[in-house]
Structure 1
Amino acid sequence: MKVAALQMVSTPDVDENLATALRLIAQAAQAGAELVALPEYFCLMGLRDSDKLRIAEDPADDALSSASTPIQTTLAQAAREHGVWVIGGTLPLRSPKADRVFNSLMVYSPQGQLATRYDKIHLFCFSDGERRYDEAATLTPGDTPVAFTLTDRAGQAWRVGLGICYDLRFPELFRQLTREAPCDLLVLPAAFTHTTGQAHWELLLRARAVENLCHVLAPAQGGTHASGRRTFGHSMAIDPWGQVLAVQAEGEGVVMATLDRERQATLREQLPALTHRVLG
């Protein structure tokens, strides 16, 4: 199955970001991708953390017929138009707290129907004396790991586990996702800071691939934003042995890769580590 990680340098203008997302989805679909994934906060990288509150939407089970959810509707329409699975990076969805939102990842089928939703569980907090981030100031955390199954055009089923950015640092989440059955693909949209990304991004992604013997697809924000924040980029696809299949360092782009289920099955047979688990 061909997949694509879409890298963006999102702005404070939602319409501009949606136009960019649509262009990249079309480009990936034309190149043969069956699944495309957008980065965290693809729809808005604001000047202030609180900017996401003003564009928050109510969750829509049927975004194709909704007139009040422009971000969700754009994703659903793009999935249907191009006949691809769209993993919609993240967007803010209203939570029970008026001053908080969920950071939500929405997945749409090639028919434009909502397949599943995942709300980011682990909220980033970082301070090095120069930069400070505290997602808990504006976000409500999710509490439920999410995986779903899709069928590709060849009729093969793929179990896909979901995570968002800071979730990458918590391997127990991905072990939880494999409790019922191993995942074939982990998708992790992100907006890693340049500082933490330079140190840990590729290292952690490859670790999650190796320890779960599965593919990883990681679309990211990659550049300097209007607020002055610099994100690390390096959107990439990784195979179950930890090999980086494709990567783009910075700037807008489409990172394409072909996932190989036969190689994954061979690796799991040669090194049956998933069957040797004792704890958890």
Structure 2
Amino acid sequence: MDISLGEAVAAGVKLLSLPECFSFIGSREGEALSIAEPLDGSILQGYQELARQSKIWLSLGGFQEKCPDGSRLFNSHILLDDLGTIQSCYRKIHLFDVDVPGGPVLKESKFTAAGSEMVVANTPVGRLGLTVCYDLRFPELYQRLRFEKNAEVLLVPSAFTKVTGAAHWEVLLRARAVETQCYVIAAAQAGKHNEKRESYGDAMVIDPWGTVLARCSDHLCTGLAVAEINLDALNSVRMRMPISEHRRYDIYGYVQRDMSYEKSSAL
């Protein structure tokens, strides 16, 4: 972590995104629950100190946050600002209860509680929409983050399985970028964690036109992919192809736009 953070600071990075399960991946059933902590626990405090020392925003995808009653955990995406303050906490809505073809049977809901709220946050690199991994397969969430919550950058920290990642990872990420006209930042766990668990990897950053701007040179190894978030370029894409204006809400329903952000942005 220290090496990657130092490299990020040296490269002028303002926001560093870490993948799902960034601090811990268990090898035995229930192990994640046993180490889960509340947001004021020592694990997260360590990352808060790193953010303060480096003066960098941290997107921490997939933190094992202990539920208040201790019976289960939340799969939480935590956003820290450059002072180490928790700016946002998104608790993963869609839980991965899947029999992966040619892969493992995973039941995330056995120890994890589902979240119930969408989360966006204003940052120096744009307005972020926070998600986690399996959320990627539910375009409705990303549509609402863009057209209702005015997101400009979508974060998708993940630990995609090897089988599903090879089949669907990049195509889903690029689809979310194109259909929302947002940047997508997809930090990803990579390689074999233990005898039962292997992640696909291939972290990348995608622009609103669907172009992959940066990706780790070796998708199976830890690395750093750096790209510029250009909001002028984003607005140009949206202006030239105004899908927001062309949406037929009269046919498939309306969404309640977050006008408070639009008003504050105009000031």
Query: 2: CA distance between counterparts of 1:234 and 1:24?
Result: 16
Query: 1: CA distance between counterparts of 2:92 and 2:237?
Result: 30
State, as a whole percentage, how many aligned pairs show the same letter: 37
Query: 1: CA distance between counterparts of 2:129 and 2:245?
Result: 19
Question: Residue in 2 aligned with 1:266?
Answer: 236
* TM-score, with structure 1 as normaliser: 0.84
Q: Which runs of 5+ in 1 are unaligned?
A: 1-20, 61-68, 153-157
Query: 2: CA distance between counterparts of 1:35 and 1:56?
Result: 25
Q: Residues 130 and 240 of structure 1: is their aligned pair in 2 closer, same or farther, counting only changes over 3 Å?
A: closer
The equivalent position to 1:178 in structure 2, one of 146, 149, 167, is 146
**Map 1:192-271 → 2, pairs under 5 A:** 192-248=160-216, 249-271=219-241
Superposed CA RMSD in Å reads 1.5
CA drift of 1:97 comes to 4.9
Per-residue deviation, residues 164-206 of structure 1 (Å, max 9, x unmatched)? 0000001111122224442110011000001001111001100
**Map 1:139-178 → 2, pairs under 5 A:** 139-152=112-125, 158-178=126-146
Question: Residue in 2 aligned with 1:55?
Answer: 35
The worse-fitting range, judged by mean Cα deviation, of 23-32 and 160-169 is: 23-32
Per-residue deviation, residues 32-80 of structure 1 (Å, max 9, x unmatched)? 10000100001111112411111111122xxxxxxxx222111111111
Q: Residues 181 and 137 of structure 1: is their aligned pair in 2 closer, same or farther, counting only changes over 3 Å?
A: closer
1 or 2 for the larger relative contact order (CA 8 Å, sep ≥6)?
Answer: 1
Assess if the C-alpha contact under 8 Å between 1:246 and 1:256 holds in 2: yes
Q: Which runs of 5+ in 2 are unaligned?
A: 255-267
User: Does 1:38 find its partner at 2:18?
Assistant: yes
The equivalent position to 1:137 in structure 2, one of 72, 97, 110, is 110
The equivalent position to 1:115 in structure 2, one of 82, 87, 97, is 87
Question: Number of paired residues?
Answer: 247
The equivalent position to 1:86 in structure 2, one of 48, 58, 63, is 58
Query: 2: CA distance between counterparts of 1:148 and 1:49?
Result: 33
CA drift of 1:260 comes to 1.6
Assess if the C-alpha contact under 8 Å between 1:46 and 1:227 holds in 2: no
The worse-fitting range, judged by mean Cα deviation, of 90-99 and 262-271 is: 90-99
